[in-house]
Structure 1
Amino acid sequence: MTTHSTAPLAEPRHTPLDSGALDQLFVGARTFSYWQDRPVDDDRLRHLAELAGLAPTSMNCNPLRVYFLRTEQAREQLVPALKEGNIEKVRQAPVTAILAYDRRFYDHLPTLFPHMKDARSLFVGNEPLREETAFRNGSIQGGYFILAARALGLDCGPISGFDNDKVDQIFFGAENQHWRSNFICNLGYGDETRLHARSPRLSFDESCRLL
Structure 2
Amino acid sequence: MNISTEQLFDHARTHNVWLDRPVPDDLLHRLYEMMKFGPTSANCSPARIVFVRSPEAKARLVPCMSEGNRAKTAAAPVTAIIGMDLKFYEKLPQLFPHDPGARSWFEGNDATIQSTAFRNSSLQGGYFIIAARALGLDCGPMSGFDAPRVDAEFWRGTSVKTNFVCSLGYGDATQLFPRSPRLSFDEACRLA
Q: TM-score, normalised by structure 1?
A: 0.89
Which residue matches 1:186?
167
Query: 1:88, CA displacement in angstroms?
Result: 0.3
Which residue matches 2:44?
61
Residue 106 (structure 1) aligned to one of 72, 89, 104? 89
C-alpha separation in 2, matches of 1:51 and 1:200: 30
Task: Establish whether residue 143 from structure 1 lines up as the match of residue 126 from structure 2.
Answer: yes
Residue 56 (structure 2) aligned to one of 73, 81, 94? 73
Q: Number of matched residues?
A: 191
SS in 2 for 1:91: helix
Which residue matches 2:186?
205
Opposite residue 21 of structure 1, the aligned amino acid is S
* Alpha-carbon displacement from aligned partner over 1:82-121 (angstroms, at most 9, x marks no partner): 1111110111000000000000000000000000022111
Query: 1:75, CA displacement in angstroms?
Result: 1.0
RMSD of aligned alpha carbons: 1.0
SS in 1 for 2:19: coil
Opposite residue 191 of structure 2, the aligned amino acid is L
Structure 1 unmatched ranges of 5 or more? 1-17
SS in 1 for 2:62: helix
Which residue matches 2:98?
115
SS in 2 for 1:54: coil
Residue 164 (structure 1) aligned to one of 121, 128, 147? 147
Opposite residue 69 of structure 1, the aligned amino acid is V
C-alpha separation in 1, matches of 2:89 and 2:35: 19
Residue 27 (structure 1) aligned to one of 10, 29, 43? 10
C-alpha separation in 1, matches of 2:163 and 2:30: 21
C-alpha separation in 2, matches of 1:71 and 1:80: 15
Structure 2 unmatched ranges of 5 or more? none
List structure 1 segments (4+ residues) > 4 angstroms apart after TM superposition.
none
Task: Establish whether residue 155 from structure 1 lines up as the match of residue 138 from structure 2.
Answer: yes
Q: TM-score, normalised by structure 2?
A: 0.97
- The structure, 1 or 2, with the larger RCO (C-alpha pairs under 8 Å, 6+ apart) is 2
C-alpha separation in 1, matches of 2:25 and 2:151: 23
Which residue matches 1:88?
71
- Find the structure with the greater CA-based Rg: 1
